[in-house]
Amino acid sequence: MFKKLLIASRGEIAVRIIRACKELGVSTVAVHSDVDQDSMHVRLADESVCIGSQQPQNSYLNIAALLSAAELTNVEAVHPGYGFLSENYNFAEMVTKHGIKFIGPNPQLIKSMGNKIEAKQIASKNGLPIIPGSEGGITTLDQAKKICSSIKFPVLIKASGGGGGKGMKMVTKESELENAMNEAKNEAKKYFNNDEVYIEKYFNNPRHIEVQILSDKNKTIHLGERDCSVQRRYQKLIEESPSPILTAEVRKDLLSKTVKMVEKIRYEGAGTVEFIYDDGKFYFLEMNTRIQVEHPVSEVVTGIDIVKEQISIAAKGYTTLNQTDIISRGHAIECRINAEDPDKNFQPSPGIISVCHQPSGFRTRIDGAIFQGCKISPYYDSLICKLICHGRNRTEAIQRTLRSLDEFVIEGITTTIDLHKKILNHQKFISSNFNVNWLNQEKFN
C-alpha cells in the first residue's frame, strides 16, 4: 500500500478520499487555492500545499503547480477525484512520467474514452449497442443533413470532447441544423478546445442508467446499476440504486455486456459506463474513467468501499474481490445538495453558512465538506454535500430520505434541500414515472 498520497481535488470528494486513506493507513496531502485554505479537506489532511489563486486555471487546473506539490511532499500516488483534471490524459501522463502512480486507468484509455466518438467505436467493437448516428465527426452541413435524413429528427449535436451538456444542441428540423451546428462547435471550442461535433438520434423520454465497475487488468466486476434520470439540463440531482424500472432480464444483459466490454479494454481501477435506456433497450452513452459523484449509492447497497478499492487496485495491481462477493441489499437514494436558488433559475448562492445541522440516524449518510462558519466560494462547483439514505426497499429509502431532508438545516445561503423534498413527494417520483426531461418540464414552485 502507498505511504503517502496527494489529492488533486477539493470539497466533498477530497474529504471522501481522505477518509478512505485514513482507514488504509495512508498519509494524505491536500492541495488548495488561496480561498480554500480553511476548507474541510485542508483541515483533515495530514499535510497541505497552496497551489495558486482562486481561479481554477491558476490552482486546481494548474498541472505544473500540482506536480510541484507532489514532488515537494514526496508522495507515491495522486488521486484526481472527479472534475478538474480527473479525466485529463495529459495530467495522468505527466504524473506517471514523474514516477508517481496516477490512481486511474492508463492515460491512453483516458484519452480514448474522453473522445466521445472514439469511445462509441470502442464500445461498439466490444459488444455494446450504440445510439444511431454519425460514425465520426461532422465537418459539413451536407454531412449533417445526410445523417439526419437517415436517423430522422429529432437529433442531438454533441461535442466529441465534451460532457455536462456543453456543446450539445437538440434539433427538431432541418432548417435549425446549420445554426445549431455552429453554436455547438463554438461551445465545444470554448469549453474543450476542440470544436469537433457528431450527431446522434435524440430520444424524447429516456432514462439514464449507469453501471459501476471495479477492474484490474485481468478481472472486472460490477456493483450493479444506478438510475440517474432526475436531471436538470443534463446535470444530475438525484440518483438511486438499483434502477426501479429494469427487468431482471434487461439488468442481467446490461451488466454482463458492460463487464465484457471493460474486460476487453483491460481497464484498471473504478469506472462508470453510462447508458440511455428507452423503450426496453439500452444504448452506450459514455464511459467515465474516474470516481463518480453518485458512487455512494452503489457503496451502501453492496457494502463495498469503492474509493478504498480504487486506491488498493492502484497500489497492488489487482482487486481481491470476486463477483460472488457482491451482494446487493435494499435500495439507496442520493440527493445532491447544491448552493443554488431554484426559485431564481438555480442561480449560485455563495456565502458563509451561519447555521449547519446535518441529519443522522439509521442508514443515513452525509458526504460533504461543510460546517458552521465555512465559506462557500463562487469560484467552484455549487455542490456542497450529498445525502445518501438506504432502505430495505425503495419506499423505505424515500421515506428515510424525506425524514433526513426535514432534519437538514443550512442557513446563510440558499440550497436545493426544499426542491428535493418536493421531488421525492411527487407522485411521478414515487411511482418512478419520469425521465431525464421531467425536471425541465415539471413546475415545483
Would you identify the CATH topology of the domain 4-103? Rossmann fold (3.40.50)
Please state which CATH class domain 132-201 belongs to: alpha beta
pLDDT, tens digit, for every residue of 45-59?
999 999 999 999 999
With H, G, I as helix, E, B as strand and everything else as coil, classify residue 20.
Answer: helix
CA-to-CA dists, residue 443 to 150, 239, 342, 349, 428, angstroms: 36, 20, 11, 21, 12
pLDDT, tens digit, for every residue of 217-237?
899 999 999 999 999 988 999
pLDDT, tens digit, for every residue of 5-37?
999 999 999 999 999 999 999 999 999 999 999
Instruction: Report how far residue 132's alpha carbon sits from residue 122's, in angstroms, rounded to the nearest whole number.
Output: 15
Nearest in space to 135 (alpha carbons), one of 127, 287, 261, 143: 143
Q: Which helix (H) or strand (E) holds 174?
A: none
DSSP readout, 92-128? Answer: HHHHHHTT-EESSS-HHHHHHHHSHHHHHHHHHHTT-
pLDDT, tens digit, for every residue of 150-195?
999 999 999 988 776 788 899 999 999 999 999 999 998 888 888 9
Instruction: Report how far residue 420's alpha carbon sits from residue 405's, in angstroms, rounded to the nearest whole number.
Output: 8
Residue type for position 146:
K
The dihedral region occupied by 432, where left means phi > 0, alpha psi between -120 and 50, and beta the remainder, is left
Strands 375-376 and 351-352: antiparallel
pLDDT, tens digit, for every residue of 237-258?
999 999 999 999 999 999 999 9
The stretches of 163-209 forming alpha helices (DSSP H) are 177-192
Q: Which residues are catalytic?
A: 290
Report whether 62 contacts 36 (CB < 8 A): no
Q: Which pLDDT score is estimated for 445?
A: 57
CATH number of 207-441: 3.30.470.20
Residue type for position 102:
F
Average pLDDT over residues 327-351: 96
Report whether 266 contacts 220 (CB < 8 A): no
pLDDT, tens digit, for every residue of 63-107?
999 999 999 999 999 999 999 999 999 999 999 999 999 999 999
Cell readout for 276 is 440511455
Q: Which pLDDT score is estimated for 136?
A: 86
- The residue ranges of every structural domain in the chain are 4-103, 132-201, 207-441
132-201: same fold as 4-103? no
Mean residue pLDDT across the chain: 95
Strands (E) in 139-242, as ranges, are 155-159, 169-171, 197-201, 207-215, 220-232, 235-241
Report whether 157 contacts 197 (CB < 8 A): yes
Cell readout for 94 is 505527466
Report whether 422 contacts 356 (CB < 8 A): no
Q: Which pLDDT score is estimated for 165?
A: 76
